[in-house]
């Protein structure tokens, strides 16, 4: 099934899909193993930094081959595409979906950039996610957040014809210093106004009942990145602390299996509706 069809199905049934970023072979294996164990679909995401780290072709082939060899239903998605050129590269390299993030641009510029990506993506049957409002990124001041407004979201959806919309409803990227307060009322209003599958960015550290409530109100895609990175690195540091093992093939699997545990838990949570 195409990713836009799956997201529409999620929207119709009040369900969601987990989207997780991967950074190397080990994090990819950890995620795929979790999807295999649970039998649940997963969206594999790459950011510009991860693409630059692994190389676009290799990263793309790793994800595609991985989905096949683990027998997992899943899709490949560009997370936070920050330019038309990057979105274009991913569309032409066989991604199922791309995010074009014009959230820091003035509304009309965000619309025209998004429209340009949608025009190309639709020719290649690739889905497009855009962002409206502003979810603070890592290192940015969280108080800069700008909530998505339902009327503006409706206008944006009509103008751009996107397949999914990332919304600013109280979440932020990275870990939270204070407990995040999600605006469930706003999620419900934007979902009703646009009839689009909505995307929640910055879900690392949001209490599980709040994730479920967000899904019940119209969130169809839950993005998870920070927690995977953090868990993989802390497990690795721990494994190396009192060890002089030089065989990385004996050290990495410990961290990989922690990723599997985390993603198994998150997949079950996101699909518990
Ligand atoms: Zn994000």
**Can you tell me the distance from the alpha carbon of 51 to that of 23, in angstroms, rounded to the nearest whole number?**
9
Q: How many domains is the chain built from?
A: 1
Centre of ligand 1 to C-alpha 161, Å, is 20
Instruction: Please name the residues in contact with 124: beta carbons below 8 A apart, sequence gap of 6 or more.
Output: 91, 92
Range of the domain at 224: 3-270
pLDDT in tens, 113-152: 999 999 999 999 999 999 999 888 877 876 777 899 999 9
Which pLDDT value is given to residue 147? 94
pLDDT in tens, 232-266: 999 999 999 988 999 999 999 999 999 999 999 99
Q: Which listed residue (79, 96, 101, 163) is catalytic?
A: 79
Does this model's pTM top 0.85?
yes
**Can you tell me the distance from the alpha carbon of 176 to that of 125, in angstroms, rounded to the nearest whole number?**
37
Centre of ligand 1 to C-alpha 247, Å, is 34
Q: What is the CATH number of the domain that holds 88?
A: 3.20.20.70
Instruction: Please name the residues in contact with 240: beta carbons below 8 A apart, sequence gap of 6 or more.
Output: 251
Residues with CB under 5 A from ligand 1 (ion): 201
Instruction: Mark whether 230 is an active-site residue.
Output: no
Centre of ligand 1 to C-alpha 272, Å, is 22
Centre of ligand 1 to C-alpha 49, Å, is 13
pLDDT in tens, 160-195: 999 999 999 999 888 888 888 999 999 999 999 999
Centre of ligand 1 to C-alpha 140, Å, is 13
DSSP code per residue over 234-263: HHHHHHHHT-----HHHHHHHHHHHHHHHH
Centre of ligand 1 to C-alpha 261, Å, is 22
The helix/strand/coil state of 110 is: helix
Radius of gyration of the chain (CA): 18
């Amino acid at each position: 099934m195409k990713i836009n069809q799956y997201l529409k199905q999620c929207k119709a049934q009040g369900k969601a899909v987990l989207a997780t970023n991967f950074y190397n072979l080990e994090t990819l294996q950890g995620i795929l193993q979790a999807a295999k164990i649970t039998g649940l679909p997963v969206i594999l995401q790459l950011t510009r930094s991860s693409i630059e780290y692994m190389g676009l072709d290799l990263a793309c082939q790793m994800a595609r081959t991985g989905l096949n060899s683990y027998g997992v239903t899943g899709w490949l998605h560009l997370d936070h595409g920050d330019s038309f050129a990057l979105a274009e590269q991913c569309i032409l390299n066989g991604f199922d979906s791309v995010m074009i993030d014009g959230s820091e641009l003035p509304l009309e510029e965000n619309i025209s950039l998004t429209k340009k990506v949608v025009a190309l993506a639709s020719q290649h049957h690739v889905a497009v996610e855009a962002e409206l409002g502003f979810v603070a990124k890592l290192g940015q001041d969280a108080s800069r957040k700008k909530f998505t407004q339902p009327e503006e979201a409706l206008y944006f959806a009509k103008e751009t014809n996107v397949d999914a919309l990332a919304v600013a409803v109280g979440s932020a990227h990275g870990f939270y210093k204070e407990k995040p307060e999600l605006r469930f009322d706003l999620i419900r209003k934007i979902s009703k106004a646009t009839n689009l599958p909505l995307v929640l960015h910055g879900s690392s550290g949001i209490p599980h009942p709040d994730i479920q409530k967000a899904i019940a109100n119209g969130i169809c895609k839950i993005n998870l990145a920070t927690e995977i990175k953090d868990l993989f690195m802390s497990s690795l540091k721990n494994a190396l602390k009192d060890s002089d093992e030089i065989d990385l093939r004996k050290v990495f699997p410990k961290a990989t299996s922690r990723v599997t545990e985390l993603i198994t838990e998150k997949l079950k949570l996101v699909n518990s509706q």
